[in-house]
Amino acid sequence: MKNIWYYILGYLLIEVQGKALEKFINIAIEQGIYLWDIHKTGDKVYLKTHIKNFFSLRALARRTQCHIHIVQKYGLPFFYLRIRNRKMLLLGAIVFSAIIYIFSSYIWFIEIEGLKDVKPETILKIAQSQGLEPGVLKCKIDDEKIEKEILKQVNEISWLAININGSKASICVVEKIIVKEDMPCDLVAAKAGVIERFIVLDGEPMVKEGDFVKKGQILVKGVRRYKVKDQIRNDEEEWEESIELTHAKAIVEGRIEYAAIGTMPLKIISEKMTGDFIREIGIALPNKVFIFNPLKQNHYSYYQKEEKRKKIFTWRNIEIPVEGIIVTYREIERHEKNYTHEQAKARAVQSAWEKMVSSIPLDARIVKRNAMLISQKNKETVKVKLVIETIEDIAEHQNIKGGTISFD
């Protein structure tokens, strides 16, 4: 805060030469003259001080037989002296900064990434109906609402995100991979496992019940084979094999094994926010950070520190290197809780289950569940391996590339 004040009032970078440099600095400090960034280079000392101290330092230099020289002048007073006869330049800079700030508050460009089959006009039309269009204020954009509406209206999209950077809004899209019912395709294993139930409805079976299959292995080929009579020779005993591509269909259920490890300590220290907080506010220049209200002492025993930075002026590719800074210290209360071995085991099993549950389909049938303790040197924690076996549909379609048939 003091350095900001000196920048407003103006300060100097001074070079000091002489045989009594240490004496010069010590007497200056004793007289209450504030000096900072003091460093020695060869037989010279460089330091910074407020402009009002210069004449006192010059008198002190005579007493100590030193010589002082102003190397650089900093601060608003010197800036004002340079531009006082160029008022239109100052006015132009202020107007330009105001224009940049105003224009940076609006969206001027919209781009869409990731589209293949969906027309960009479809996305832009829905986004426009929800308020996202060139010339709209960024603060009026509800990106979550726009994302939900686009996903609701366009079935071909599986994921979408809107990112706003400066005056540009980017709509990132991932389209669904759709296999048409009339398109020739194979059935392949979506997961590794043992086949428990296998009923082929259309296509050529490549496995049987009881087989272990790997992920991606072909289960049913998308082909049909049948005998046709040789019409050329008109021979009752001569038949030829004919093959055609088809959309493979089957009921394929496999036994799948899931495993995860859960660890739980016998003693847990939990943390909870109290709601109390302290804030520091400042600005960041390229080589300096100024805090307007620096904390003399943080009275919180435990706290969480959050720092947010935001560019004050941004427009298209032009950025003025000044950022606003808000540092928040949030108070935390800590509580200690002890568990028995059985309680810790149950929580470890639950932890392992939570790790694997997202991988198990909702329609899967759990047929086996086994939790095994893992011995370890650390007696302060309980480690468990949870194994789950399910029966589930493991078939997925895979297009036959180029419409060709492979007999491998």
Segment 173-183 shows an average pLDDT of 70
Query: Has residue 26 got a pLDDT over 50?
Result: yes
Q: What b/e sequence results for 384-401 when a residue is b if at least 16 CB atoms lie within 10 Å of its CB, and e otherwise? A: bbbebbbbbebbbbbebe
Query: Has residue 383 got a pLDDT over 80?
Result: yes
Segment 261-275 shows an average pLDDT of 89
Query: Has residue 242 got a pLDDT over 60?
Result: yes
How confident is the model at residue 403, as a pLDDT? 47
Which one, of 206, 238, 208, 239, lies nearest residue 223 by Cα?
A: 206
Q: Is 131 exposed, middle or buried (0-12, 13-18, 19+ CB in 10 A)?
A: middle
Cα 96 to Cα 280: distance, rounded to the nearest angstrom? 30
Cα 147 to Cα 132: distance, rounded to the nearest angstrom? 11
What percentage of residues in the chain have a pLDDT greater than 90? Answer: 23
Domains detected in the chain = 2-80 (3.30.70.260), 106-175 (3.10.20.310), 180-266+339-408 (no CATH), 273-331 (no CATH)
Tell me which of 297 and 271 has the higher pLDDT: 271
Q: What b/e sequence results for 329-345 when a residue is b if at least 16 CB atoms lie within 10 Å of its CB, and e otherwise? A: bbbeeeeeeebeeeebb
Asked which of 179-188, 191-200, 208-217 is least confident by mean pLDDT, the reply is 179-188
Which residues are registered as beta bridge partners of 255? 194, 391
Q: Read off the pLDDT band of 231 (50, 70, 90).
A: low
Please identify which residue in the block is written with the tokens 């940049």: 100
Segment 30-57 shows an average pLDDT of 86
How confident is the model at residue 95, as a pLDDT? 82
How confident is the model at residue 408, as a pLDDT? 45
Upper half-sphere CA count for residue 181 (Cβ side, 13 Å): 0
Cα 262 to Cα 225: distance, rounded to the nearest angstrom? 51
Which one, of 180, 272, 274, lies nearest residue 222 by Cα?
A: 180
Asked which of 151-160, 203-212, 229-238 is least confident by mean pLDDT, the reply is 229-238
Q: Read off the pLDDT band of 78 (50, 70, 90).
A: confident
Query: Would you state the structure tokens that stand for residue 130, as one six-digit string?
Result: 């929800």
Q: Which amino acid is at 301?
A: S
Segment 118-141 shows an average pLDDT of 88
Looking at residue 364, the DSSP 8-state letter turns out to be P
Which residues are registered as beta bridge partners of 245? 223
Q: Do 339 and 269 form a contact (C-beta atoms < 8 A)?
A: no
Q: Read off the pLDDT band of 73 (50, 70, 90).
A: confident
What DSSP element (H or E) covers 385? strand 381-393
Q: Is 170 exposed, middle or buried (0-12, 13-18, 19+ CB in 10 A)?
A: middle
Residue 61 phi/psi, 5-degree rounding, is -65, -35
What's the distance, CA 17 to chain centroid?
53
How confident is the model at residue 350, as a pLDDT? 93
Segment 346-375 shows an average pLDDT of 91
Segment 321-332 shows an average pLDDT of 86
Asked which of 149-153, 232-236, 344-348, 395-399 is least confident by mean pLDDT, the reply is 232-236
Q: Do 371 and 389 form a contact (C-beta atoms < 8 A)?
A: no
How confident is the model at residue 404, as a pLDDT? 44
Query: Has residue 61 got a pLDDT over 70?
Result: yes
Each residue of 277-319: pLDDT tens digit?
A: 888 888 887 778 888 777 777 677 888 899 988 876 666 566 6
Q: Do 391 and 269 form a contact (C-beta atoms < 8 A)?
A: no
How confident is the model at residue 352, as a pLDDT? 93
Asked which of 107-121, 124-138, 278-292 is least confident by mean pLDDT, the reply is 278-292
Cα 212 to Cα 210: distance, rounded to the nearest angstrom? 7
Q: Under 8 Å CB-to-CB from 297, ≥6 apart: which residues?
A: none
Q: Under 8 Å CB-to-CB from 282, ≥6 apart: which residues?
A: 289, 290, 291, 292, 324, 325, 327
Query: Has residue 392 got a pLDDT over 90?
Result: yes
Cα 353 to Cα 259: distance, rounded to the nearest angstrom? 9
How confident is the model at residue 52, as a pLDDT? 85
Tell me which of 170 and 77 has the higher pLDDT: 170
